[in-house]
Amino acid sequence: MRRFYLFLPLLCALSVPCKAQDFYNDTIRTVTATEEQPREHLAIDTIPSSDKYVKIVLYDDYTWEYIDEGHPVIDTAGFYEGWDPDMIHAFRGEPLSALPDSIDLLLADESHGYCAPYLAKVHSGFKFRGRRPHYGVDLPLSVGDTIRAAFDGIVRYAGTPKETGGYGNLIVIRHDNGLETYYGHLSERLVEVDEMVKAGECIGLGGSTGRSTGPHLHFETRYHGKPFDPQRVFDFENGVVRDTIFTLQKHYFNIHSHYGQTDKESKSASGNVYYKVKKGDNLGKIAKRYGTTVGALCRLNKIKSTSTLRIGQRLLVRKGTS
């Protein structure tokens, strides 16, 4: 550890707020390095440096030293796979069949911290909501509340996507455990693309931008661009991970598979969507409502386009993904 002596006027100058970089520029030229000596003095202040993992500690004998808090260990092998800062979802076009049936992901240990992005009771979960799949959890909040990074990682996307409507102001972080986390509807972003973040670091402020009916955080967990229920990872009310090692099963990517189901239930969730025929319905109307065609509905239900629909009849309108 290098130790430096400061001149008194410089120390006074340090008591006024200044950016870490200014601190370097103003002082580095005038300090004198000395031999390592046993520490006998009290720390009086801690100042950030240009590296957020390194702090400068000032002692009451006008000396200072760098304290390296330890950079997160990021295994870069495969870390940047499918990386595209212009694309909202990574690994675009990769089929589900390319993934293993099950994979163990490290969520936390002594050197890998974690943090629930926001503490709240889940308002709306991972499921089909009306006609639209909801690929995350909604956590109600007040505009301006602090949103934190779930794990150490690097910001892959920061912006307001136009082509993937709904997210509003969005941050996507790639983590060294292979997961990506999404933070949507933010009122403000506090990190940039390619910025390294630590678990628990404030990355943005809660808001209601995009397709949102009130202030909340839309939080997603994805692996290879594919979403699964974030409640499998976090207990959002208590701010803890369910386990330090998470076994991600392929069938978790089914929108009908969510936390709290037994694995058997989760696997058997077919994902099929049915519609109950009402008075005044016809195949054309139903097809339009579900964004499909009369021909596709007929094939799914093994009926003819001229078939008469009965009120109360169950029609398969979308086939599940599993």
Residues that bind Zn ion (CB under 5 A): 138, 218
* Residue carrying the six token digits 């410089």: 10
Residue closer to Zn ion (CB basis): 72 or 230: 230
Q: Tokens for 221?
A: 């967990």
Integer-rounded Cα Rg, in Å, for the chain is 26
Which one, 138 or 229, has the nearer CB to Zn ion?
138
Shortest Å, Cβ 170 to Zn ion: 11
Closest to 8 (Cα-Cα) out of 73, 82, 72, 58: 58
Taking the complex as a whole, the smallest distance from the CB of residue 193 to Zn ion amounts, in Å, to 23
Query: In whole angstroms, how far apart are CA 140 and each of 118, 123, 200?
Result: 9, 7, 19
For the bound state, the minimum distance from the C-beta of residue 88 to Zn ion, rounded and expressed in Å, comes to 14
CB of 146 vs Zn ion, minimal distance in Å:
19
CA neighbor of 225 nearest in space, from 81, 12, 116: 81
In whole angstroms, the minimum distance from the beta carbon of 242 to Zn ion comes to 20
Which of 115/122 has CB closer to Zn ion?
Answer: 122
C-alpha distances (whole Å) from 58 to each of 18, 122, 149 are: 15, 43, 29
**Which among 222, 272, 274, 273 is positioned nearest to 252, based on CA atoms?**
222
Q: Which is nearer to Zn ion, 138 or 145 (CB)?
A: 138
- Of 186 and 297, CB closest to Zn ion: 186
The residue of the chain with the least Cβ separation from Zn ion equals 218
User: Rounded distance, CA 229 to CA 220, Å?
Assistant: 8
Minimum distance of Zn ion from residue 185's CB (angstroms): 8
CB of 129 to Zn ion, least distance (A): 8
Q: Which is nearest to 201 in space by CA: 175, 162, 227, 166?
A: 175
Measured from the CB atom, the residue of 152 and 220 that comes closer to Zn ion is 220
Q: Which is nearer to Zn ion, 72 or 161 (CB)?
A: 161
**Which residue carries 């392929």 as its tokens?**
250
CA distance 244 to 206: 27
Within 8 A by CB and 6+ apart from 181, the residues are 117, 149, 150, 151, 153, 172, 173, 175, 219, 220, 221, 222, 230
CB of 134 to Zn ion, least distance (A): 6
Which residue reads 């693309």 in tokens? 193
- Give the number of other Cβ atoms within 10 Å of residue 215's Cβ: 17
Tokens of 152: 């150490």
> Of 218 and 226, which has the nearer Cβ to Zn ion?
218
